[in-house]
Amino acid sequence: MRIAVFPGSFDPITIGHVDLVLRALPLFDRIVVAVGVNSAKQYLFSLEQRLEWLRQVFAPYPSVQVDHFQRLTAHYCRRIGARYLLRGLRNGSDFDYEKTISQINRIVGGGDLETIFLIAQPGMSHISSTIVREIIVGGGDASPFLPKEVKINV
């Protein structure tokens, strides 16, 4: 079974994240959208809220599973039997960063963890959770960047 993990903080999930998962569906038997929990990081939304949004967004897709994990992504992949990591690239900076992380994950994951990169569609390459959080905190309307299931009151 071809299992891919799409790890992230999803704080919050954006339409760019959703697009990436939907485009990857034909490539894998199962995609696990997994919220990585870092106790040293400050999040805008609770883990429970982020998981609920993910469950709502991907409810129509039986081959998408929602989960969360702590510690190393590569160890989580090994634990659930995933041999693939799914990552999105918006620009060259993303590529430089993600390339290094993918090489480390391959080593830490035992040598058989492959990272699959999908390039963001042109209309979504400007969307990031960081920018969406700034819009939300600033009292702006972030709805154009969020799935319809994500309702945020500012």
Q: Annotated active-site positions, please?
A: 17, 41, 90, 129
Burial status of residue 59 (CB atoms within 10 A of its CB: 0-12, 13-18, 19 or more): exposed
Distance from C-alpha of 8 to C-alpha of 47, rounded to nearest angstrom: 12
CB 41: neighbour CB atoms within 10 A? Answer: 9
Distance from C-alpha of 113 to C-alpha of 146, rounded to nearest angstrom: 30
Q: At what angle do helices 92-108 and 73-80 cross, to 10 degrees?
A: 60
Residues 6 or more apart from 9 whose CB is under 8 A from it?
Answer: 35, 36, 38, 41, 43, 50, 129
Distance from C-alpha of 137 to C-alpha of 142, rounded to nearest angstrom: 10
